[in-house]
Amino acid sequence: MASLAACSPSATKADDSKPSAPAAAGASGTPADGASATPGAPAGGSSLALTEAIAKIPSGTEDRTGYERDSFRLWVDADKDGCDTRKEVLIAEAVKSPTQGARCALTGGEWLSYYDKVTVTEATKLDIDHVVPLAEAWDSGASKWTAERREQYANDLDASRSLVAVTAKTNRSKADRDPAEWLPPAASAQCTYASDWVATKLRWKLTADSKERAALEKIASNCSSTVVKYEAAP
């Protein structure tokens, strides 16, 4: 199995909602009051208070010129173990482990969709969400990347919080919107979500526009104990 730093259960323009599309990249945050703890970034990464981490995101203006979802190759099997990125995330984030059959077919299992605090017992009812959607990544720097680096972003299993398994309903409600336009419906998930978003932006050196930054700062005002942990992508 590819490396996926310990995950906890976690749109598409249908940017990230297809059950057979990519997953994985990011880092983790510690939720504020009432939220469950989330895992940290790989050893050797940085750890900052949420407000400090937001300030470290480079400023920029968004530009979607030329964006196509196919610019990011999704759900690859990087380690050739028969399980693609989607399956690796599902296995890593399961609260109750599924049975793994031929060609990495998953049956049984249980997951907690952290966006809406819903328990799911069928993998087919989960989407793998790129916390920072592919279109948003394109807008904030990925348009200048090589195809290989965009594939690495879309399938980043070396960080625990860039790809999360969530209900299809919340993933598709989110689509490709940023925190100025969409937040998880579960209030207790919002500090964690902001931390995951910021960690992913810092990991991949993506920019934030003024509305996005203002929204993150507003969330951070209620997340005094939230920590952002991340490691820069190689």
Q: Which two tokens stand for residue 102?
A: 């031929």
Beta-bridge partners for 28? 229
Q: Residue 45: what pLDDT?
A: 83
Crossing angle of helices 210-220 and 190-203, in 10° steps, is 130
Q: Which two tokens stand for residue 82?
A: 């028969």
Return left, alpha or beta for 66; rule: phi > 0 is left, psi -120 to 50 is alpha, else beta. Answer: left
Q: Mean pLDDT per 10-residue run, the chain (234 residues)?
A: 45 38 35 33 74 98 96 97 98 98 96 98 97 98 98 96 97 98 98 98 98 98 97 96
Sort 103 into a burial class: Cβ within 10 Å, 0-12 / 13-18 / 19+.
Answer: exposed
- What helix, strand, coil percent values describe the chain, rounded to 5? 35, 15, 55
Alpha-carbon span 93 to 85, nearest angstrom: 12
Q: Residue 160: what pLDDT?
A: 86
Structural contact between residues 137 and 187, judged by C-beta atoms closer than 8 angstroms? no
Q: Residue 89: what pLDDT?
A: 98
